[in-house]
Structure formats: C-alpha cells, structure tokens
C-alpha cells in the first residue's frame, strides 16, 4: 500500500539511495535538512557478496525505521549489479512499507553533470511541490553496451530545480543509429560519455527521488523495475 503523501505524521525523516549498476557501489542518505552523507566502494566482482554488509554498516546511526523512502539506480548498467540493487530496494521497501524510486543511471549522470541549486534545504516534513519547470539545457548521454552497441538518452535540466525532463528515453542502439539521432537533434545539446564507475552519482539518484517526493509521488515497491536494455546472453 502506498504512503499517504498528505499525512505528515506518517512521514519518516530520511531517504536512502544505493547505486549498484556498475562495479562501484554508492550509498547515500539524507534528511534534506542538513544531515547527509555519501560513500563509494570499488567492489568489482565482490559487489554481490559485500553489498549487504556495507549497507548495514553505512546506515548507522540511523535505523531502518528512520527511512521515508528508498531510491535505487535502475540501469542501464551491469546486469548482475543492477538486479541486486533492485531486489534489495524492493525487499526493504516491502518490509518497511515505504516507496521506492527507480532512477535512470543516465538521468543521475545528467543531474550530476550540471550545476544544481541545493535541494537539501526543506526536509521531508516541510516539502512543498515545486513550481512549474522550465527547460534549461539538453544533455545527451551515451554509455557502452554489450555487443558493440551503446545506450543513449537525452534529458533537459529544469531551471527551477524541479528535476529533469526526458526528451529521448534510455535506449540501446548501434553507434550509427545514435549518431543519426544526434545529427537530427534540432536543439543544442551537451554530450556526455558515461564511464563504468558511477557510484558517486548515487547522491544524484537520491536528489532526483527527493524531487519526485516533493511533487507528491509515492511509488509502490512493486512498480520498481530494472532497465537492462539488453539480454545478458547473446541471441536473446
């Protein structure tokens, strides 16, 4: 059951985010009123075995009962890591009966790449919906995928710090198709080549989720789904 966005007495204090879509684990927590922290670990193949230990140790001094929502990078990224993060987010949210915000890996990079006004200023209990957004800049992102393809997406950052507008959704395609898309793009854009270590963008995952929270969104855990783009096995 979704939380009631108008019932302030039921709202906890913190948002928690984790990024497992690349070999670099990222964790972030904030009450959006001055108490925030973020940490990354380059775990490589040990991500699958070490995720839960790092998560438990990172949580202190907060407890699970302090969480109002969870945010997770949904991909694109590595298949195993993305799946682990999503399963963990869904399991925790179901047990705690709190919302899960599944945030695009590419959207988080776009948000981190452009200077943002601070969003950690109101707290979860006093947040009000932002004003209508105004587009500021188109940001095109490309990220290597399997079998010689790549992921591409275009977002715009909104001037009033109300988040991002999706102009072209995360899509897997050939390099040629992506180049054609960019050449036909009518507006100016900034192109970002996304790397393989994105743990530090977990703070952007958390901020984007918080902006959705301020707009009244309370997504149920069951609706949080990963974006793989490709099947990990060739031929599928």
Cβ–Cβ under 8 Å, residues 23 and 85: no
Q: How high is the pLDDT of residue 44?
A: 78
89-103 CB burial, b ≥16 within 10 A, e <16: bbebbeebebbbbbb
* Nearest residue to 208 via CA among 156, 158, 163: 163
Q: How high is the pLDDT of residue 12?
A: 61
Q: Which domains does the chain have, with CATH numbers?
A: 10-129+196-223 (3.30.420.40)
- Residue 226 phi, psi dihedral angles, 5° rounding: -75, 155
Express each pLDDT in 85-139 by its tens digit. 999 999 999 999 999 999 999 999 999 987 555 554 556 654 444 444 445 578 9
**Whole-structure pTM value:** 0.84
Q: Is 220 exposed, middle or buried (0-12, 13-18, 19+ CB in 10 A)?
A: middle
Q: What is the largest CA-CA distance in the chain?
A: 53
Average pLDDT over residues 201-214: 94
Q: How high is the pLDDT of residue 161?
A: 61
Cβ–Cβ under 8 Å, residues 52 and 235: no
pLDDT at 8 over 60: no
Confidence of residue 236 (pLDDT cuts 50, 70, 90): very low
User: Percent of the chain having pLDDT more than 70?
Assistant: 82
Express each pLDDT in 27-79 by its tens digit. 999 999 989 999 999 887 777 788 889 999 999 999 999 999 999 999 999 88
| Three-state secondary structure call for residue 26 | strand
Element (H, E) at 91: helix 79-96
Q: How high is the pLDDT of residue 222?
A: 94
């Amino acid at each position: 059951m979704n939380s009631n966005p108008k019932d302030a007495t039921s709202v906890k204090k913190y948002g928690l985010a984790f990024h497992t879509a690349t070999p670099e684990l990222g964790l972030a927590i904030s009450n959006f009123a001055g108490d925030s922290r973020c940490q990354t670990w380059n775990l490589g193949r040990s991500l699958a075995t070490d995720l839960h230990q790092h998560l438990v140790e990172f949580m202190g001094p907060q407890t699970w009962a302090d969480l109002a929502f969870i945010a997770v990078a949904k991909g694109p990224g590595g298949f195993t890591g993305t799946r682990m993060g999503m399963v963990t987010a869904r399991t925790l949210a179901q047990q705690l009966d709190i919302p899960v915000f599944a945030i695009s890996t590419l959207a988080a990079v776009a948000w981190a790449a452009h200077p943002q006004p601070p969003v950690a200023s109101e707290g979860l209990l006093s947040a009000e919906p932002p004003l209508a957004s105004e587009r500021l800049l188109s940001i095109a992102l490309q990220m290597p995928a399997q079998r010689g393809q790549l992921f591409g997406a275009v977002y715009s950052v909104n001037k009033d710090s109300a988040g991002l507008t999706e102009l072209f959704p995360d899509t897997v395609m050939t390099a040629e198709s992506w180049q054609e898309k960019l050449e036909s793009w009518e507006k100016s854009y900034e192109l970002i080549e996304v790397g393989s270590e994105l743990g530090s963008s977990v703070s952007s995952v958390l901020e984007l989720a918080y902006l959705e929270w301020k707009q009244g969104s309370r997504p149920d855990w069951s609706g949080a789904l990963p974006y793989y783009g490709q099947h990990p096995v060739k031929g599928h």
